[in-house]
Amino acid sequence: MTTFWNSFRALYVRELRQDAGNPLAYVFVASFVSASILLAFQVGGLFEAGRAELVAFFQFLPWLFVVLMPALSMRAWSDEARTGTLETLLALPVPTAALVLAKFMAAWTLACLMLGLTTPLWLGVALLGPVDHGATLTAYLGSCLLAGAYLAIGMAASAASRSQVLSFVIALGVSFLATAAGLPLVSSTLAAFLPLPLTETLASLSMLDAFAGFERGVIEARAIVYFLAVMALSLSLTGLWVDHKREGLR
Amino acid sequence: MLKLDGLTKTYAGQRGVSSVSFEVAPGEVVGFVGPNGAGKTTTLRMIAGTLEPDQGAVQVLGQDVWSNREAAQALMGYLPEHAPLYEDMTPRTYLDFLLSARGVTRKQRPELVSQAAMRTQIADVLDRRIEGLSKGYRRRVALAGALANDPPVLILDEPSDGLDPNQKRVTRALIRELSPGRIILISTHQLDEVVHVCSRLILIANGQARADQSPADFAAQDQNGQIDEVFYRLTVRPDGAAT
């Protein structure tokens, strides 16, 4: 276990330092903060609602994450494969799980920090009226889990391809499907072709469905299990793909 | 002992290696030579645990690379082909990262980094970003990464590629200095390097080992003692095609 955690920590710190020294990471964070706040005010009508709540902010997060999380994760493995440093990593006496977990946790840390930078919006709304702080905190917790789920999907896509662009497109496509499955429009369209129980099952597996409770300030065990399961499944796939590279690294 | 037993690797439609077997004892410096595409890098990757063989086994000091990969890799320092590096790091942070990932304590790391930097003569660029370094320095940073934790087995793929004659001289002297008690396997195109550094030569062509002897015995197969003539004869058919 000592080797696992030493390796994990070394790679986690390296990834975070790489992000900290990369100007694109700052552009990325600034884009997320501005886009999320802009959507909340311009599209969600945060002021027009006349209520001291952040529903207008949280309701757009899944869609923002569908685009931004694949962008954040796309270079995680594909860039290592492209530059050849993957071979350096694979030659280290390190369990594959430590490599996968370290890269994921570093990206997730950045995503949660990004979310943390939107908290002035929470404080601002609190100045205007009584805010349910517990519900808002719950929504932030759900947002972190949601970001983690999208990131894990992005990590798997990045491990599956040497091309950052292809990794992005795959992650975007899978994330979009996992989100859109919960839209009433998609459910009703699918219901025309598929049996109702199957349609309902697909809708219940959507990111939107799992996030809905958190948006309302409700912590549901089912939703937590869902997000953790998406992360576990995606990271297991990532590990399999990384190990698969040992079978044919060229 | 480094022991390869029937290592075989095939790629879809591409030549790999076929049933390569040999043993290397501590204290030996083995030059692994062959033409481009002969299977040198593929073999080294299978030893380093970054490429899984289709058949065969590799044992490093009694540890099987594929059934006990991490234990075997802990005994090896590996310089991959083209010496890939993290461009955003400095040599110091890069070496510290590699040592940290290998479980070396924070207290021990600065000493090992300095030692590797001194040996590979990169001390003057330790705090410069790798992306700004010359090819020679980059190669030496990668070499420092391979030997930073003072491993008993060194697997070096083209260690002097891209180095100027003076740097080559230093690198060869370093390999000779490191050789007592260590297993060193060097893949190279440079036959003069084998003569200067290696106690043994293994020639691989078309994925198969064709010769395994001392550089002197290898060269003696030519009446004028020209090692490159013997290399040519064993790797090129009379019609000029690669064997």
CATH number at residue B36: 3.40.50.300
**Whether residue B156 is found in the same domain as residue B65:** yes
Smallest CA–CA distance from B93 into chain A, residue: A14
**Whether residue B122 is found in the same domain as residue B194:** no
**Whether residue B142 is found in the same domain as residue B42:** no
Q: Which residues pair with B32 in a beta bridge?
A: B187, B202
Closest Cα of chain A to B29: distance in Å? 21
Show Cβ contacts of residue B35 under 8 Å, excluding neighbours closer than 6 positions.
B205, B235, B236, B242
**CB-CB: which of A11, A21, A85 is closest to B84?**
A85
Instruction: Tell which A residues from 79 to 118 touch B, by Cβ distance under 8 Å.
Output: 83-85, 87-88, 90-95
Between β-strands B76-79 and B14-24, what pairing exists: parallel, antiparallel or unpaired?
Answer: unpaired
**Whether residue B120 is found in the same domain as residue B197:** no
Residue pointed to by tokens 């040599």:
B91
Taking a C-beta distance cutoff of 8 angstroms, is the pair A88, B80 a contact? Answer: yes
Chain B environment of A14 (Cβ under 8 Å): 86, 89, 97
pTM for this predicted structure: 0.91
| Last residue in a domain, options B120, B151, B182 | B151
**CB-CB: which of B51, B86, B88 is closest to A249?**
B51
Q: Is residue B198 part of a domain?
A: yes
Chain A environment of B45 (Cβ under 8 Å): 87, 249
Show Cβ contacts of residue B64 under 8 Å, excluding neighbours closer than 6 positions.
B57, B58, B72
**Is B52 in the A-facing interface, judged by CB distances under 8 Å?**
yes
Q: Is residue B80 part of a domain?
A: no
Q: Which of B11, B51, B75 has the most A C-beta neighbours within 10 Å, making it the best mutation to test the interface with A?
A: B51
Taking a C-beta distance cutoff of 8 angstroms, is the pair B207, B38 a contact? Answer: yes
| 3-state SS, residue B160 | coil
Closest Cα of chain A to B6: distance in Å? 17
**Whether residue B121 is found in the same domain as residue B196:** no
Q: Which residues pair with B128 in a beta bridge?
A: none
Q: What is the pLDDT of residue B233?
A: 85
Q: Is residue B243 part of a domain?
A: yes
**Is B97 in the A-facing interface, judged by CB distances under 8 Å?**
yes
**Is A244 in the B-facing interface, judged by CB distances under 8 Å?**
no
Closest Cα of chain A to B107: distance in Å? 14
Helices A207-215 and A221-248 pack at an angle, to 10 degrees, of 140
Q: What is the pLDDT of residue A179?
A: 92
| Last residue in a domain, options B93, B126, B151 | B151
**Whether residue B157 is found in the same domain as residue B69:** yes
> Helices (H), strands (E): how many in chain A?
14, 0
Rounded CA-CA distance A190/B39 in Å is: 53
| Last residue in a domain, options B127, B151, B175 | B151
Mean pLDDT across A199-211: 87
Chain B environment of A87 (Cβ under 8 Å): 45, 50, 80, 84
Smallest CA–CA distance from B69 into chain A, residue: A93
Q: What pLDDT digit, counting tens, does each position of A52-110 carry?
A: 678 889 999 999 999 999 999 999 999 999 999 999 999 999 999 999 999 999 999 99
Using CA of residue B96, residue B99, residue B103, residue B104, what is the dihedral sign?
negative
Percent residues over pLDDT 90 in chain A: 64
Show Cβ contacts of residue B123 under 8 Å, excluding neighbours closer than 6 positions.
B114, B117
Mean pLDDT across A113-117: 95
**Whether residue B167 is found in the same domain as residue B139:** no
The boundaries of the domain holding residue B90 are: 85-151
pLDDT band at residue A250, thresholds of 50, 70 and 90? very low
Domains held by chain B: number: 2
Domains held by chain A: number: 1
**CB-CB: which of B71, B72, B101 is closest to A7?**
B101
Closest Cα of chain B to A125: distance in Å? 40
How far is C-alpha B144 from the geometric centre of its chain's CA atoms? 13
**Whether residue B184 is found in the same domain as residue B205:** yes
Q: Say yes or no to pLDDT of A30 above 70.
A: yes
The boundaries of the domain holding residue A240 are: 2-248
Rounded CA-CA distance A241/A232 in Å is: 14
Q: What is the pLDDT of residue B237?
A: 63
Count of CB contacts below 8 A, A vs B?
79
Ordered per-residue pLDDT tens for chain B, 243 residues = 999 999 999 877 666 888 999 999 999 999 999 988 888 999 999 999 999 999 999 999 999 998 999 999 999 999 999 899 999 999 999 999 999 999 999 999 999 999 999 999 999 999 999 999 999 999 999 999 999 999 999 999 999 888 889 889 989 999 999 999 999 999 988 888 898 899 999 999 888 888 899 999 988 888 888 888 888 888 876 566 665
Sheet with B208-213: list strands edge to edge.
B76-79, B153-157, B183-188, B29-33, B200-205, B208-213
**Whether residue B234 is found in the same domain as residue B134:** no
Please report, to the nearest 10 degrees, the dihedral formed by the alpha carbons of residues A78, A82, A87, A89 taken in order: -40
Q: Which of B60, B89, B100 has the most A C-beta neighbours within 10 Å, making it the best mutation to test the interface with A?
A: B100
Q: What pLDDT digit, counting tens, does each position of A146-166 carry?
A: 999 999 999 999 999 889 999
Helices (H), A59-163: 61-73, 75-83, 85-90, 96-116, 119-128, 133-160
**CB-CB: which of A21, A91, A95 is closest to B48?**
A91
Chain B environment of A249 (Cβ under 8 Å): 45, 50-51
Closest Cα of chain B to A246: distance in Å? 4
**Residue whose C-alpha is closest to residue B183's, from B161, B156, B207, B202:** B156
**Whether residue B61 is found in the same domain as residue B136:** no
**Residue whose C-alpha is closest to residue B96's, from A11, A183, A142:** A11
The 10 Å CB-count burial string (b at 16+, else e) for A209-241 is: bbbbbbbebeeeeebbebbeebbeebbebbbeb
Percent residues over pLDDT 70 in chain A: 97
Q: Is residue B130 part of a domain?
A: yes
Q: What is the pLDDT of residue B197?
A: 92
Mean pLDDT across A218-227: 93
Closest Cα of chain B to A87: distance in Å? 6
Q: Which residues pair with B33 in a beta bridge?
A: B188, B203
**Whether residue B91 is found in the same domain as residue B46:** no
B101 to A92: CB separation less than 8 angstroms, yes or no: yes
